[in-house]
């Protein structure tokens, strides 16, 4: 079974001390955005399996174990087979992929104010994203792959460069429907 979080999210935020709740919420939202960007939105079959996993408190590792030992309900086994195996439920994103997704989401949401909003939350570089992610991992709010390291978030890009220097405003007139 998946591990329950060790502490409440408020306790984690308080212990980290460097970032407000909004920063944690934005990173968590960005993880979903990154997964959909990297892996595409979930198919109905994936959503069915994810719902079953959530209802039965089954994590990805346990899904794989139960699949291998043929200990899944027949209807769930059929859907997992149709997907191509339990590994198709792995929607992991790497540290750099998450950083780029945060950049995209921040620019879409706040435009030229993106860096200002993130700075208000004490997020000044991709290392800050890594600190938030690993605080969530260490307290069982997120899972990581064995190869994931906090260093994966080091110097992925410069906030100044991607939020200020590379920003462009779309000046094309809106298309009519």
Residues 73-114 pLDDT 10s = 999 999 999 999 998 888 889 999 999 999 999 999 999 999
Round the CA-based radius of gyration of the chain to a whole number and report it.
Answer: 19
If asked whether residues 55 and 121 sit together in one domain, one would say no
Distance from C-alpha of 123 to C-alpha of 145, rounded to nearest angstrom: 24
Is residue 98 within 8 Å of 36, Cβ to Cβ? no
Tokens of 95: 């540290």
pTM score over 0.85: no
Tell me whether residue 145 is in a domain.
yes
Domain count, the chain: 2
Residues 136-149, mean pLDDT to the nearest whole number: 91
Tell me whether residue 172 is in a domain.
no
If asked whether residues 82 and 99 sit together in one domain, one would say no
Q: Is it the case that residue 126 has pLDDT exceeding 80?
A: yes
If asked whether residues 25 and 67 sit together in one domain, one would say no
Where are the extended beta strands (E) located within the chain? none
Among the candidates 55, 89, 123, a domain finishes at 89
The total of other beta-carbon atoms located within 10 Å of residue 99's CB is 25
Q: Which pLDDT score, from 0 to 100, does residue 177 have?
A: 54
- Top-confidence residue, 100 or 4: 100
Close Cβ partners of 162 (under 8 Å, ≥ 6 residues apart): 103
If asked whether residues 66 and 127 sit together in one domain, one would say no
If asked whether residues 84 and 97 sit together in one domain, one would say no
Tell me whether residue 13 is in a domain.
yes
If asked whether residues 52 and 26 sit together in one domain, one would say no
Residue 115's domain comprises 9-40+92-165
């Amino acid at each position: 079974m998946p591990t329950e979080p060790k502490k409440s999210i408020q306790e984690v935020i308080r212990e980290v001390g460097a970032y407000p709740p909004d920063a944690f919420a934005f990173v968590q939202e960005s993880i979903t955005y990154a997964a959909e960007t990297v892996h595409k939105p979930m198919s109905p079959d994936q959503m069915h399996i994810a719902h079953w996993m959530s209802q039965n408190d089954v994590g990805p590792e346990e899904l794989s174990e139960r699949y291998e030992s043929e200990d899944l309900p027949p209807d769930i086994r059929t859907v997992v087979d149709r997907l191509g195996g339990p590994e198709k439920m792995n929607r992991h994103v790497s540290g750099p992929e998450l950083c780029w997704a945060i950049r995209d989401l921040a620019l879409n949401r706040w435009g030229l104010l993106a860096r200002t909003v993130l700075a208000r939350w004490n997020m000044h570089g991709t290392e800050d994203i890594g600190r938030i992610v690993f605080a969530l991992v260490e307290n069982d709010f997120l899972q990581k792959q064995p190869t994931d390291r906090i260093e994966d978030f080091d110097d992925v890009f410069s906030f100044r460069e991607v939020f200020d220097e590379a920003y462009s405003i779309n000046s094309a007139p809106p298309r009519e429907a």
